[in-house]
Structure formats: C-alpha cells, structure tokens
Amino acid sequence: MAIAETLEKLSNACGVVGREEEIRELMAKMLKPHVDEVKEDKLGNIIGIKNGKKNLPKLMLAAHMDEIGLMIKTISKEGFLQFTKMGGIDDRILLAQKVMVHTEKGPLHGIIGSKPPHIQKEEERKKIMTYDELFIDIGAETLEEAKKMGAKIGDPVGFDEKFARIGKDIVIGKALDDRVGCAIMVETMARLKKVGCSVYAVGTVQEEVGLRGATTSAFGIFPDVGIALDVTVAGDMPGVREFEAPVKMRKGPSLSVADAGLITHPKVLRLLVDTAEENKIPYQLETGLAGSTDAARISMAREGVPCGTISVPTRYIHNPTSMLSLKDVENTIKLTVAAVQRVPKQF
C-alpha cells in the first residue's frame, strides 16, 4: 500500500511544534506534483493550490504538520538537560523515553533518565515524577561538553520512535497526530480529478500550542468552506467506557458534530454524511471531545467560514507512539476526495 510508505516518511520526519522545517520541506515535495502552485506563508504554513474557477467556492483543507515534544530549558553543571513541554503531554509517559535533541550541529540521542528500581525507596516507586523533576541524559560529562555537542537552551526535543507495520492493516509510529492527516491530504490532492473550485491544501504549523498556523493561513486564504483532517481518540481498549470515547479503530473515519472549539456547520456535516452514505463509506459520528482541531480557527476567520473535521480513529494519541488502521486511512481518503468533488454542487 503506497499510502503506508507516504505515512512512514511523514511519521519519521521531525517537526516539533514551532520547529517544522524538516516536515515542511517534505510536505512541499509531496504536494508539488499534484498542485498548480506551492507556497509558504510568513508563519511557515505550506500551501498547495489547485486553481479552479473564480466564481466557484474556495475550499481549504488543513492538516497540522507539527508534533508534540519538549524544549531544553536549562543545562546542569553536570551536563544534564532539563526541559519544558511543548503541547499536551502527560508527565507519566515521559520517564525512560528515548529522545532526539535537535541542535544546530545536528541531532543528539538522549534518554529521559530515571533511577533504576534497585535503588528506589518504596515511596519513590509509588510517586509520579513530574516533568520538572526529570532530565535528558545525552552522555555529556559537563555543561561545557553538552554545549560543545551542540545542546543549548531552546533546542526542540522529539521522541525517538520509528514507524512500523505490525499487522495486516495496523501501523504504529511517532506523530501520527497529525502526519496521518498530512498523508491523507497529499493523497487527496493526488486523486482529485477536475473539481472546478479552487482547493487549498494547507500543512499548518503550531497546532499543538493553540491552532496558530490555521489562524493565519485561513485569514490569508479566506475560504468558503474549511475541512480539517486530523486524528481522534479511539476508545476501543480496556479501561475506557463507551460514553467516554465511543469511536473505534477500523470502523471508518469519525465526523465530529461538536468539540470544544467547533460546532460543525450543518451544511458541512450534511456534505460529509451524504458523501459517506452515497459512496457506502463507513463513518462514525462523534461529539463532546475536550480537544479541538484547526477547523475551530478556520471557522472564525474574518466574518466566518463553514467548517468541519474528518478524523482518523487513533489509539494512544499524544504518546510517543500511536496506533491506527490503514483501512481507516483509505476510507478517510475516499471520503475526503468524494466530499471535495461535491463542494461545487452543495455550496
């Protein structure tokens, strides 16, 4: 499956929030063959444009390129790196992770250090270590050596995880939130026939710290319709109640009716549901999620834009490694392509 290769490249690329250079370059390369023009805006969003007729509505697709990570805050005399978090990270997942510190001199391997169980006291074993008590060990002996290796305050840190296929249709990897949206957007642009209306495929920056790239790119483009391609919580695992997270992996893309930042515009929801029904694409409806997507900001550009979100059910979001089904990816591409083709008819 070609989409698995695209997703593998995107997942393995680095793009910690605010430092999206590598992933942006890759996205520009991937979009280029399928659009009339690729441009980068001032904040660093990458925009692939398929030009259409002027009198037809403009459509904006958005998938965020950035990933959650860490940032070096201080370096100790002994050469250990202390850090702050970039994006929503649960402290409990940090301990003992392998990370990459991205310095100007190149990447450095590191591990988030912890005391081995042999020397932990009973109380220590029960306690949750918060991020400010942890440190990254890059093997430096002193502050000077850490600096010489390239480490400095403000360097972005990503999780050191590689993409893998672990089942017939199941993949695991870093930053699937939202590299899977990026892969779906690239593939959608590749499969689109003549649409009539202009389509803007935007790889956004800084989503994980407050949907910032979507805010500026939507202002610049000012589309008539906006669709965010992202991930949502798949709750089909032990310990999660149906009510908390009813969306399941392998059951098709999820259409959000409302989340913390957006009530999907009725016309957009109609477009997505009708498209799925008519093309017999499985889908799930979802509401009440605490998070939000780029669509929330696109919808508030200038005097407002009807928006919706199509999400891939993903297990273990915001962990160093997440999991999803390529079947859901394929169905999300089918739905997105068919929905885009219908925009001139329904808007």
Which of 57, 23, 63, 73 lies closest to 309 in space, CA to CA?
63
Which one of 81-89, 134-142, 222-230, 331-339 is the stretch in contact with Zn ion (CB under 5 A)? Answer: 222-230
Q: Which of 207, 208, 286, 330 is catalytic?
A: 207
Which one of 16-24, 140-148, 178-186, 308-316 is the stretch in contact with Zn ion (CB under 5 A)? Answer: 178-186
Min CB(214)–Zn ion separation in Å: 11
Locate all alpha helices (DSSP H) within 192-325, ordered by sequence.
212-221, 266-278, 294-298
Min CB(289)–Zn ion separation in Å: 11
> Cα–Cα distances in Å, from 68 out to 105, 155, 282?
22, 14, 30
Q: How far is CA 167 from the centre of its chain?
A: 22
Q: Measured over all CA atoms, what is the biggest interatomic distance in the chain, rounded to whole angstroms? A: 71
Sign, CA dihedral 182-183-185-189, equals positive
Active site residue 141: no
Structural contact between residues 341 and 192, judged by C-beta atoms closer than 8 angstroms: yes
Q: Which is nearer to Zn ion, 64 or 265 (CB)?
A: 64
Which one of 112-120, 173-181, 320-328, 333-341 is the stretch in contact with Zn ion (CB under 5 A)? Answer: 173-181
Which residue in 8, 66, 155, 230 binds Zn ion (CB under 5 A)? 230
- Strand ranges across the sheet with 59-64: 37-40, 46-50, 199-204, 59-64, 225-233, 307-314, 254-259, 284-289
Structural contact between residues 205 and 212, judged by C-beta atoms closer than 8 angstroms: yes
**Taking CB under 5 A as the rule, does residue 20 contact Zn ion?**
no
Residues within window 128-157 making contact with Zn ion, judged by CB under 5 A: none
Q: Which is nearer to Zn ion, 94 or 231 (CB)?
A: 231
Which residue in 20, 177, 294, 328 binds Zn ion (CB under 5 A)? 177
Q: Which is nearer to Zn ion, 178 or 328 (CB)?
A: 178
Which residue in 66, 155, 161, 178 binds Zn ion (CB under 5 A)? 178
Of all residues in this chain, which one has the CB nearest to Zn ion in the complex? 178
Min CB(105)–Zn ion separation in Å: 30
Min CB(314)–Zn ion separation in Å: 9
Which residues are CB-neighbours of 327 under 8 A, at least 6 positions away? Answer: 169, 250
Min CB(207)–Zn ion separation in Å: 6
Min CB(177)–Zn ion separation in Å: 4
Radius of gyration of the chain (CA): 21
Dihedral angle computed from the Cα positions of residues 235, 237, 238 and 243, in that order, rounded to the nearest 10 degrees: 20
Active site residues: 207
Q: Which positions touch Zn ion (CB under 5 A)?
A: 177-178, 230
